[in-house]
A = this chain, B = another copy of it.
């Protein structure tokens, strides 16, 4: 398997699905609709919907009910980037080489665009109720998926992590280990966890298997973030497309800063190995997911 080709194929498939859920750019509110579509189209590999779809398929899912949740997940991820880039937050004018949403549409529209994407994510998720007549899916599986989707994105998930992160930046290197782990778990891990969990829930995976999936996804999220911090120290600037060493210059507390490079590399390795071991325990073809997880963690940019 050429993992890069397989990912590209799936990214194209997922972009086609997401496109069907994006709003038409018309009406008196046209500007915010343009800003939403601009922000979503600026996205990358669609890692989260890909993890959701692959987990859904691993547990035998094959219905359209997953599609609104895939689109919703990408909208939630996108809204978080749009608001993170705002002047009062990270104040970034460029993301992946393109002007950020507020840089193009202004700050007021940047705020409204993020709000619109977050709300539209949940509006889109409710379309799952139209994709099936199965009463068990309607009355139990979709509600359970909506609970995970909302919880992991909010104060007991991503927004919780963002809050601690905003405060940690003021604290600089006095940040303690527990709080750093909370930030990584929630800011980066939570949406990866809910992506995979929702795939499992909608496919009818057991409670026990959902817990295993959550563990795999948490390991991957944490390893992904530590690798990000490692690349900021030893990455190739030409491949990364940005200068290295920014965390140290900004006195940003990271796993690498707290534990050093060797311990960080070891941590990424052990987290990933554990995740792949649990994954191998499931019946069914886990080969793409295994390679995808390793690709995500051991990337060079």
Residues of B within 8 A of A138 (CB): 138-140, 143
Say yes or no: A23 contacts B123, CB within 8 Å.
no
Say yes or no: A179 contacts B33, CB within 8 Å.
no
- Interface range on chain A: under 10, 10 to 19, 20 to 34, or 35 or more? 35 or more
Interface flags, A112-123, vs B, CB<8A=1, else 0: 101110111011
A216 at the interface (CB under 8 A from B): no
The minimal Cβ–Cβ distance linking A52 to chain B, given in whole angstroms, is 18
Residues of B within 8 A of A108 (CB): 88-89, 166
Q: Choose among B28, B36, B115 the residue that contacts A114 (Cβ–Cβ < 8 A).
A: B115
The minimal Cβ–Cβ distance linking A182 to chain B, given in whole angstroms, is 5
Say yes or no: B118 contacts A119, CB within 8 Å.
yes
Bound-state Cα–Cα, A225 to B214, Å: 47
> A126-B146, A163-B109 are contacts. A119–B154 as well, Cβ < 8 Å?
yes
Centre residue among A29, A107, A109, A143 by max chain B CB count within 10 A = A29
The minimal Cβ–Cβ distance linking A225 to chain B, given in whole angstroms, is 16
Say yes or no: A119 contacts B150, CB within 8 Å.
yes
Quickly give the copy total for this chain. Answer: 2
Bound-state Cα–Cα, A138 to B144, Å: 11
A155 at the interface (CB under 8 A from B): yes
Say yes or no: B111 contacts A86, CB within 8 Å.
yes
A220 at the interface (CB under 8 A from B): no
Say yes or no: A119 contacts B29, CB within 8 Å.
no
The minimal Cβ–Cβ distance linking A25 to chain B, given in whole angstroms, is 11
Residues of B within 8 A of A179 (CB): 28
Residues of B within 8 A of A119 (CB): 118, 150, 153-155, 159
Say yes or no: B159 contacts A112, CB within 8 Å.
yes
> A119-B150, A126-B147, A135-B135 are contacts. A155–B23 as well, Cβ < 8 Å?
yes
Residues of B within 8 A of A79 (CB): 115
A15 at the interface (CB under 8 A from B): no
> A109-B166, A115-B83, A135-B135 are contacts. A122–B120 as well, Cβ < 8 Å?
no
A27 at the interface (CB under 8 A from B): yes
Interface flags, A95-137, vs B, CB<8A=1, else 0: 0000000000011111110111011101100100100000100
The minimal Cβ–Cβ distance linking A165 to chain B, given in whole angstroms, is 10
Bound-state Cα–Cα, A179 to B153, Å: 34
A164 at the interface (CB under 8 A from B): yes
Say yes or no: A135 contacts B139, CB within 8 Å.
yes
A204 at the interface (CB under 8 A from B): no
Say yes or no: A182 contacts B28, CB within 8 Å.
yes
Residues of B within 8 A of A120 (CB): 154-155
The minimal Cβ–Cβ distance linking A117 to chain B, given in whole angstroms, is 9
5 cross-chain pairs, A with B, having the tightest CB-CB distances, nearest first = A29-B160, A88-B107, A138-B139, A123-B150, A119-B154
